[in-house]
Homo-oligomer: A and B are copies of this chain.
Amino acid sequence: MKKINVKSSRHPYSIWVGKGVSGMAGKALKSLGFEGKVFILTQRKPAKHHLAKVVRSLKAAGYPGVAYEVPDGEKAKSLEVLRGVYAALLAKGFERRDLLLALGGGVVGDLGGFAAATYLRGIKFVNAGTTLLAQVDSSIGGKTGINLAEGKNLAGAFYPPSLVLSDTQVLETLPEPELRASYAEVVKYGMIRDRQLFALLERENERALLRSPRILEDVVTRSAGIKAGVVSRDEFETRGERMILNYGHTFGHGFEKVSGYRMFHGDAVSLGMACAARLAVRMGMLDPFVELRQLAVLRKLGLPVLLERKRFDAARVVGAMMHDKKKSAGKLRFVLPESIGSVTVRQDIPLSLVKDVIREMGAR
């Protein structure tokens, strides 16, 4: 088991990574000196596979626990479901000294984190991510939120968890397509900050997809470590550094939006990174050989790198990108690779070039 430390303006916290750490939840809370009740927010699938183990661990440590299931999928991230979570917390007598533990993927973590951030102006929060995506990305850094009718993550808060539990064993029950798509974010960490992680994926992509425990622990630990470093230095996305985590995401959000969110986030990020590398080559910033190495590793991990012509129209994608909240003062920001392990942020890319690149990658 590995521990990674994260700083935040409120308090530091640890990420525990390893096989079986969700069964150490009770022990971990004891080590934090926590005394109170635990509200476990979860969804059907993570509840089925992992709830019993967590409850057993809490019980063994003497913590009373209550489990609350929210509806499947992204639709749980709504004001209506949030209101139901508040009502359940109130009905069960939860007070400011108590704790909410999110057991599930990014949806559960985002909703649970926002509920914890805002119930009685904030109760303690533990994020136990049960997907590779949650473990390498969304469970770290305090971003919480829900969707509104107008779009995704439009209401939320930066709220640091007190603890992150990333049990790599739970990844054994993760559906194949979800596992595969999640590796896009891991490739991202390699490209933005970690040549060794990138090389590991080039070398071990087969065993990564076969869920070798050693590789999974390595991948999660390295990815979480990079994200922990970035968010410790730029908690509120105000200093620019956190922006590099959006590598592949400016394009990616455009693809997700145009698809009506009917694609994996990871697939959108993979396509986005392919476009970003293409753009960097076109700007003369990147060696074309590096673009090819990135394409190769994405393909070997089963990730898409070409846009389906009938699905994506370049002008519509750019329009969707312009609506994304991460644009600053109406300008699109792109995170572009300079080499493996190093990126830079650019705000001066002509939209016509952006459109060209999207077309070169297959769109009409």
Please tell me which one of the listed residues B79, B121, B157, B327 contacts residue A121 in the complex, with CB atoms under 8 A apart: B157
User: Are A155 and B118 neighbours in the complex by a CB distance under 8 Å?
Assistant: yes
Closest 10 CB pairs of A and B: A121-B156, A9-B9, A118-B155, A90-B150, A120-B325, A121-B158, A118-B157, A121-B157, A9-B10, A86-B148
Which chain A residues have a beta carbon within 8 Å of chain B's beta carbons? 9-10, 79, 83, 86-87, 90, 95-97, 114, 117-122, 143-145, 148-151, 153-158, 236-237, 325, 327-329
User: Are A327 and B95 neighbours in the complex by a CB distance under 8 Å?
Assistant: yes
Shortest Cβ distance from A83 into chain B, in angstroms? 6
Please tell me which one of the listed residues B121, B150, B158 contacts residue A87 in the complex, with CB atoms under 8 A apart: B150
Please tell me which one of the listed residues B96, B144, B151, B328 contacts residue A325 in the complex, with CB atoms under 8 A apart: B96
User: Are B236 and A325 neighbours in the complex by a CB distance under 8 Å?
Assistant: no
Question: A151 CA to B95 CA in the complex, in Å?
Answer: 14
The chain B residue with its CB closest to the CB of A159 is B157
Known: A79-B83, A95-B327. A90 touches B154 (CB 8 A): yes
Question: A170 CA to B118 CA in the complex, in Å?
Answer: 32
Known: A97-B328, A328-B95. A122 touches B86 (CB 8 A): no
Majority-rule SS of A interface residues: mixed
User: Are B95 and A121 neighbours in the complex by a CB distance under 8 Å?
Assistant: no
User: Are B327 and A90 neighbours in the complex by a CB distance under 8 Å?
Assistant: no
19 examples of A-B residue contacts, CB within 8 angstroms: A9-B9, A9-B10, A83-B148, A86-B155, A87-B150, A90-B148, A90-B151, A96-B325, A96-B328, A97-B328, A97-B329, A114-B118, A118-B157, A121-B143, A121-B144, A121-B156, A121-B157, A121-B158, A122-B157
Known: A95-B328, A97-B329, A328-B97. A122 touches B236 (CB 8 A): yes
Shortest Cβ distance from A294 into chain B, in angstroms? 30
Shortest Cβ distance from A107 into chain B, in angstroms? 16
User: Are A155 and B79 neighbours in the complex by a CB distance under 8 Å?
Assistant: no
The chain B residue with its CB closest to the CB of A98 is B329
Residue numbers in B under 8 Å from A145 (CB-CB): 121
Residue numbers in B under 8 Å from A329 (CB-CB): 95, 97
Residue numbers in B under 8 Å from A327 (CB-CB): 95
The chain B residue with its CB closest to the CB of A83 is B79
User: Are A155 and B119 neighbours in the complex by a CB distance under 8 Å?
Assistant: yes
Shortest Cβ distance from A263 into chain B, in angstroms? 24
User: Are A158 and B9 neighbours in the complex by a CB distance under 8 Å?
Assistant: no
Please tell me which one of the listed residues B79, B90, B118 contacts residue A156 in the complex, with CB atoms under 8 A apart: B118
Please tell me which one of the listed residues B87, B122, B158 contacts residue A122 in the complex, with CB atoms under 8 A apart: B158
The chain B residue with its CB closest to the CB of A151 is B90
